[in-house]
Amino acid sequence: METSAWKFPLADEKNASPAQIALAWLLAQKPWIVPIPGTRRLERVAEHVGAANVVLTPADLAEIEAAASKIQVQGARLPEAVLKFSNR
């Protein structure tokens, strides 16, 4: 696991990378959600696969949700011109 420039206590606690925590969180949402991470580096593929072994408790998931709820989302999902192609 490589260390990041910023603190990610849950990743440290789980001995996982921030990417593994993010992927484990996605896997914990619904059984039909299958993340498809992209990478060009083989070591990242191994890292991403390792996310399947990260066990997030209900308390961990609540901690992630609490942190995410404090993030203020800004801007549109896509530019208006792109949204026109999807009839929205």
* Predicted model pTM: 0.76
Percent of the chain at pLDDT above 90?
Answer: 60
Domain ranges of the chain: 9-85
The band of 7, judged by pLDDT with boundaries at 50, 70 and 90, is: low
| CA distance linking residue 64 with residue 56, whole number of Å | 10
Per-residue pLDDT, 80: 85
Predicted confidence (pLDDT) per residue in 48-79, tens digit: 999 999 999 999 999 999 989 999 989 888 88
Mean pLDDT of the chain: 88
CB-count burial class (<10 Å; 0-12, 13-18, 19+) for 63: middle
pLDDT at 26 over 80: yes
